[in-house]
Each structure stands twice: as structure tokens, then as C-alpha cells.
Chain A
Amino acid sequence: MIPITTASADSSQSEGYTNFIRQVIMGTTPPVFWDVTVPESGERLSLVPIDIAGSRYELWTVKTAAVPISYLLDTAYVSAYAPEGTVTIQTEDTDSPTPRTRADRPFTVTTTVKGLLSGGNVPTTSKSVNFLRHVQSYGETDGTNIDRNQATLHSQASIDRNGTNKLDYGVTAIPGSNRLTVRGEERFSIYSIKENGSSDERLDSETLLVWPVATASISGIQEGDTVRFDEVPLTFTLNNLYPKSFTYAQLYPGTPKLDTMGQILPAAQLAIDQNTPESRQWQVGSYSQFLNEDGPWTVEVVTETVFGIERLAYLTFNVNRSIKVNSMISTMENEK
């Protein structure tokens, strides 16, 4: 008997989602499907004896909609000989309930395996587990309703010793021709080994969301332009701002220099804290009041995230508002 717990799903029941726990009892063709009745949050014992074929427990949530959609939240597989495996992912962004990072940032995957056995009489399924890395691009979307069965197996390895493995990755391997705009997910899983009477079942998996690197461009003024009295509107185009970020445009006298704190343009700043990236365009027509001296000025777009402070775009223009009067002064007295 094993406890079935639903504490992880308690928040979704009241928001148009309904949770189901389905136990798939292996060993028959087809397997037997049993919906276990469990409170929104709580646990009970499964009364199915654990045999060689084992059982898979699936935690689903179904969204009420015109066409209902089901989401697989978690699975666990239990059998007489299957070892235990867990996967965790660490990123620099610790604010998200689901591990997430950016296309240019590192992450660490930790696997822990227990219950592996060795010896001649030990079933193959008890001797090792497989560790798999899947990657899947979201394309241009936010990944809503993607078919995760379409993920690509990137690489796999065998783990035949109990203990912990720590794998440090520098950047994501999600496919994409432009590495800055890659968006998608990586899934790291531990699977049991298929053997007579048992199938290869997922013991644990963890998914990492990967969002693109933000980019920006400035238009309206060209690099090296001279600004006099006419105020040329500035347009800032921002793409893929990180879900939790503060982005702004600032002005300062002089040529571009990192770490300069300038005047933030009030109409060109955005703080977000959401689940997906954001793209925006700012039109700024009123900024000449900040240009209080002649000479070169720099306008730049800066974004602040958990990954640091980054300059996304910049350009320098000249301000020249001095008036040169060409005239000749003469008096009538001299002529007398």
C-alpha cells in the first residue's frame, strides 16, 4: 500500500480546473484504469498490491472550457523492483514555481537514484535506470496546449549506481536558428528499464521553461543625428522582455558608457511580473526638456532581471541649440 497525496493540486480546483487521479494498473492488456477518489488536498492508501508489473499514478487537471483540456501535472510509478529516482533543476530565477530561465543562462540538473541492486539474480529493471533529456521549441507561441509527445529526445544516459549526479549546463539546447529568440522547454526524466512483465515507466521528471533573450531597437533618430529645436519622436521597440523584469529608456549627456545612470523617460518604462515574456513599443514625443546642454547625448534601453542589468540598445546624437548671429554694427557718428 502506498499513500496517494494531492496537496500539490489544491490551488487549481477552484479556478475552473478539476483534478483527477488515475491509477493505471499494469499487467493486463489493456491495463486497468482506476480513478481514485481523493479529496482536493489529502492522502489515502492505495489498496492495489505492488507486483512486478506495477502501477502508474497520474495526477491530471481538466480545464472546463468549450472543449475541455486535460493537463498531466505529475506521475509516479511503483512496482516491486523499480528503483526510486528524482530529478530537480536549479536556475538563477528562484521566483517561479516551475523552474525557468533565459536562453543564455546556465542551469543545473540533479538526479538522485535509490534502490538500485546488483548481482546475478537481480532483475534488469533493478540494476539501472535511464536518464533522458528532451527538448521542445514553442515556436512563436507561449507553449499553451503544446503536444509534449512531440518533444525531441536530445540525449540519454544510463545510471547504474545509487546516489546523486549533478549536471551543469551553460545554455539551453532547444532548437532554433536564432539563439536569442529560442523559447520552449527542456524536460529531464528518469525512466525504469523495460523487462519482461514491466514497461519502461517514468520514475520522475522535471521541466525547465526557457524564455528568449530580450532585444530592443531605437528609431526616430539615427546615430550621429543633430537635434536642434524640433523634437523628433523616439520609438522604442522591445521584444521578449523577461517575465519578471524592469525595463526602461534613459537619456544622459555624453557618449555611451555602461553603468551610467541617466534620466529615465517617464513614458518609457515597464515593470512586469507574469508567466510569459512581453513585447512592447513605446512612442516618446516629449523629451527635449531633459536635453539641457549642447553636445553629444546618449539614449539607451536597459533591462533589469534576476540575471543582472543589461543594455539592450543605444545610440548617440548631438544637441546643438546655440544661435549664431552674423551682423555688422555701425554708427551714424562715425559718418559725421
Chain B
Amino acid sequence: MISHFLATILALSVCQFATAESKMRDVTTHEALSQQLRAQQQADPILTLKPAEGDDPTKTNPTPDLIASSQFLCYNGMATLVPMGAVLCAPEKLKSRMRFTQGARIVTWAEFYSMNRAWLSTVAVSLDQATGKLPLSDEMIKKVKNDTHIIVSTCQNGPISIVPFKTAAEAQTPPR
């Protein structure tokens, strides 16, 4: 009885479809829908716009998956993602922390960094340095070479990937 009562209450809350004007009809058929689809194909509303041709941008310029284009950092039951190319230095003994461990809880970069400063460090770069218009400073390069932490490049506290700096001559040389 209770289940009937609950079903009735739920039906009343879910379905306010039936009104005095509602008319019951038989459900449509595959044949009727096929006919409707054929008619629509001949009078497709998109034909009211100018025709366009070309490749499908979702195939030629797909949005890369976040995880596939990121690097996991994982430690002590927590994990986060930074853009691939943002990890500038990873000492051998810490490389095991650069893969996802099953059971880890995914958190934001800010939360993860605040909890793992003992082995995680950052280098703050400018946008011009990240986009390869300017080189990293000597001080940054020295830190990356000698530090015993995993080092992530950041811009305004957000992890950012780095495109290698090219001199004007290198930039003009087409890649082989």
C-alpha cells in the first residue's frame, strides 16, 4: 500500500500533463516517422541559409581532451592537472609523483600546490616568456637546473606551458 501511495504522490508531482483539454492519441509508428523524416530532408530548414562546404572543424581542429593534454601530479591521496609542457624540471626520485595513482582525489592546482610545497616549486614566467617571444632569465634557468623540487612554470599563479624561445633568425627558418 505504501508503494502505491508513494507512486501516486510521485505521479501527481511529476505529471501534470493531463488537463481537461488533453486528448489521448495512439503513439506514433516507425513508418510515420520515416515519412516525416523524408519530407524534412527535402525541406531542411538549413537550406534557407547560404550553402557552405568544407571540412568538419571538429575533425580538422578538435578540442584536445584535457587529461590527454595535461600532466598529472599526484601525492598522498591527492592529484591535480597542469598543462603538458608546464613541468620544467622533474628530479628522478620524484618522477613517480607525475602519474595518477588510483584512489587519489582530484583537486585544483591551488589546493594541491598549497599542500605539497615541500617537493613542488614554481617559476613565475611572463606571457612573452611562455609564448617564446622572450627567453627565460638566467636565474630561472639556474633554478630549473639545480633545484631538487618538481618545478612548474606559472603565470599569475596558474600553471602554463612554455614554448621554447627562438631568436629572430630561428623564427624565420622554416622547420625541416
Which A residues form the contact surface with B (CB < 8 A)? 18-20, 22, 25, 27-30, 32-37, 47-48, 56, 58, 60, 62-64, 66, 68-70, 72, 75, 103-104, 109, 130-134, 148-149, 151, 153, 155-160, 165, 167-171, 173, 178-180, 191, 194, 199-202, 213-215, 244-246, 258-259, 266, 269-273, 302-306, 308-312
B17, B108, B130, B159: the one within 8 Å of A246 (CB):
B17
Complex interface: chain B residues within 8 A of A156 (CB): 46, 52-54
Complex-state Cα separation, A266 to B102, whole angstroms = 47
Complex-state Cα separation, A12 to B22, whole angstroms = 38
Complex interface: chain A residues within 8 A of B169 (CB): none
Q: A202-B57, A271-B7 are in contact. Are A62 and B106 (CB under 8 A)?
A: yes
Asked whether, in the complex, the Cβ of B109 is within 8 Å of the Cβ of A35, the reply is: yes
B25, B28, B155: the one within 8 Å of A180 (CB):
B28
Interface residues of B in 140-176 (CB under 8 A from A): 155-163
A134, A180, A311: the one within 8 Å of B33 (CB):
A180
Asked whether, in the complex, the Cβ of A22 is within 8 Å of the Cβ of B24, the reply is: no
Complex-state Cα separation, A148 to B132, whole angstroms = 33
| Interchain residue pairs with CB less than 8 A apart (30) | A20-B108, A22-B83, A25-B131, A29-B163, A33-B85, A34-B160, A35-B109, A37-B158, A56-B63, A60-B66, A62-B81, A75-B63, A103-B33, A104-B36, A109-B45, A131-B52, A132-B56, A153-B59, A157-B47, A157-B50, A169-B45, A178-B30, A199-B61, A200-B61, A213-B33, A259-B23, A269-B11, A308-B17, A308-B22, A308-B25
B35 — nearest CB in chain A belongs to which residue? A179
Question: Chain A's nearest CB lies how many Å from the CB of B19?
Answer: 9
Asked whether, in the complex, the Cβ of A167 is within 8 Å of the Cβ of B24, the reply is: no
Question: Chain B's nearest CB lies how many Å from the CB of A137?
Answer: 14
Q: A34-B158, A173-B40 are in contact. Are A180 and B30 (CB under 8 A)?
A: yes
B17 — nearest CB in chain A belongs to which residue? A304
Interface residues of B in 61-92 (CB under 8 A from A): 61-63, 65-67, 69, 79, 81-86
Question: Chain B's nearest CB lies how many Å from the CB of A263?
Answer: 13
Complex-state Cα separation, A48 to B66, whole angstroms = 21
Question: Chain B's nearest CB lies how many Å from the CB of A279?
Answer: 15
Asked whether, in the complex, the Cβ of B25 is within 8 Å of the Cβ of A258, the reply is: yes
Complex interface: chain A residues within 8 A of B79 (CB): 68
Asked whether, in the complex, the Cβ of B127 is within 8 Å of the Cβ of A48, the reply is: yes
Asked whether, in the complex, the Cβ of B25 is within 8 Å of the Cβ of A130, the reply is: no
B86 — nearest CB in chain A belongs to which residue? A33
Question: Chain A's nearest CB lies how many Å from the CB of B125?
Answer: 10
Which B residues form the contact surface with A (CB < 8 A)? 4, 7, 10-11, 13-15, 17-18, 22-30, 33-34, 36-37, 39-41, 44-54, 56-63, 65-67, 69, 79, 81-86, 100, 102-110, 127, 130-132, 155-163
Asked whether, in the complex, the Cβ of A158 is within 8 Å of the Cβ of B57, the reply is: no
B26, B29, B100: the one within 8 Å of A68 (CB):
B100
Complex interface: chain A residues within 8 A of B50 (CB): 157-160
Question: Chain A's nearest CB lies how many Å from the CB of B114?
Answer: 12
Complex-state Cα separation, A179 to B132, whole angstroms = 53
Asked whether, in the complex, the Cβ of B46 is within 8 Å of the Cβ of A167, the reply is: yes
Complex interface: chain A residues within 8 A of B63 (CB): 56, 58, 72, 75, 202
Complex interface: chain B residues within 8 A of A66 (CB): 102-103
A167 — nearest CB in chain B belongs to which residue? B45
Complex-state Cα separation, A271 to B131, whole angstroms = 56
Complex interface: chain B residues within 8 A of A134 (CB): 58
Q: A27-B131, A160-B50, A246-B17 are in contact. Are A213 and B28 (CB under 8 A)?
A: yes
Complex-state Cα separation, A62 to B85, whole angstroms = 20
